Structure 1
Amino acid sequence: MTEAATTLTDPDRDALARAGEIVRARLDRNPDAFRLPVEAAEIYAVSGFLDPEERDYLMMVIDHVAAPSPTYDEQPAERYRTSYTGDIPRGDPVVQDIDARLSDLLGLPAAWGESLQGQRYYPGQQFKAHHDWFYTDTHYWAREQERGGQRSWTAMAWLNDVEDGGTTDFTRIGVSVPPQAGSLLVWNNALADGSPNHETLHAATPVLAGAKYVFTKWYRTRPWH
C-alpha cells in the first residue's frame, strides 16, 4: 500500500481537518502547552498534567489489567510490540476526571476518545516504529470506521521516570522525547488538510533499565464505541 493510496482513500479527511483546527487553536492559546519546534508534525507537550497520586494509582491499575500488547497487523515483524497493555475501566472515577481534563485541554468531545489504555515496558521491551492512524485498505478498517472512524489526535502521558531508555522517537523527523513523569505529549495524526501525516511515524524505544508506565488515549472523528 502506497502513501498516495492511503491519502486518497481516507473518507474522514474533512472531519480530520476540522478536528485539527479545533485542537490546534485550543493548544496554541494554552500557556501550559508547548509546541515542539518542528514543521513536519504538530506535537505539543504539557508538563505536570498528572499528580503523583494519580500516577501511582494508574500504575497499580495497569499492573492489574496488563496483558501482552496486541497489534493491528496480521503478521507483525518479530518483536514489533513487546510491551504489556490493558484498557483502564472508563467508569473509574480517577479515569473519568482525567478523561474530562483531556477533553477540555484538546477541545474535543469526550465521546470521541477511546478508552484510556495503559502500557508497561520492562527492560528490552519496545514498540517499533508505527503510525497511530488506520490504513483504510486493511482488513480492520471497516470495523474501525463503524466504531468511530479515523484516529485524529493522540494523547500520551508518562506515569514514572525511567531509569534508562524508553524514549518516544519520531523517527522520520528526528525528534526523541525522554520520559518525564506526569507530562503529556499530544500530536495530530493528520496534516492540516486532513490527510494522514506519514511524518508521525514513532517508536517506543527499548527500556534499558527499570520500567516505563504510560497511558495513551486516541481520539476519533466521531463518537467511539
Structure 2
Amino acid sequence: MAEELQDGQPHYVGHRERLRERFRTRGPDSLADYELLELILFRSMPRRDTKPVAKALIDKFGTFAEVFSAKPERLMEVPGVGESVAFDIKVLQAAALRMSLGDARQRPVLSAWSAVINYCRAAMAFDDQEQFRILFLDKKNRLIADEVQQRGTVDHTPVYPREVIKRALQLGASGLILVHNHPSGDPTPSRADIDMTRFIVDAGAKLGLVVHDHIIVGRDGHASFRGLGLL
C-alpha cells in the first residue's frame, strides 16, 4: 500500500505538484532527465508513483532520447510499464519527430540543414537495428516524402539501388537525401556504405536524380558524405 500523508493522499501527490510548479516557474532546464520523464508519465500513470519507473527507464536505456527510441516490448521489460504506457511514450516520440522536421517541411530542405540533422538523429540514432531512410525532394528541394526503405540487423541493412530509383521516379522526386544509422554508435562510413552510395549516385544521375547527401547517424554523432568529400 502506498505511503500516505496525514490528509489521506498518497505520498507522491505533493511531489507531483512540486515538479509541476518547478516546471512552470523555472522551466524544463531545471529538471533532471528522469524528472521530466516523471512529468510525462503523470497522465499515463495517474495512480502510481512515477519516480521509480522514470529512474528505471533511464537506468535501463541510458538517456532520455534512448527511452523514447526503445521498442515497446523493451519498454515493457521495466516494472510498471505496461502496454498503455509504452504506447503513450511512442506517441510522444512520433509527435516530437514530426515537430523536429516541421521547419524543413516549410522551406527548402537544404536551407534547413540543422533541422534535417536533428530530425535524423532523433529518428534513428538510438535504434538498435540498422534502417535505411530516404528524404525525397522536389525541384525546389522541398520535402515530398520521408520513407524508411529497409530495416536490417544490428550491423547491416540490405539496400537495393534499383528500388531506390524506382521509388524516386514514382514520387516525381528530383533529389534524394540518403540516411541510415549505425547502432554501434560510430557514424564513420564503411566501404560498403561508400560503394552503395556511389552506385545510387551514378544510377540517379542517368535519370536526372541528384543525391544531395548521405547522412549516417549514431549515438556518437553523425557523418555527412558531402562534408567528408565523398560526394
Normalising by the residue count of structure 1, what TM-score does the alignment of the two structures yield?
0.30
Which entry has the higher C-alpha Rg, 1 or 2?
Answer: 2
More helix per residue: 2
More strand per residue: 1
* Greater RCO structure (CA 8 Å; 6+ sep): 1
Normalising by the residue count of structure 2, what TM-score does the alignment of the two structures yield?
0.29
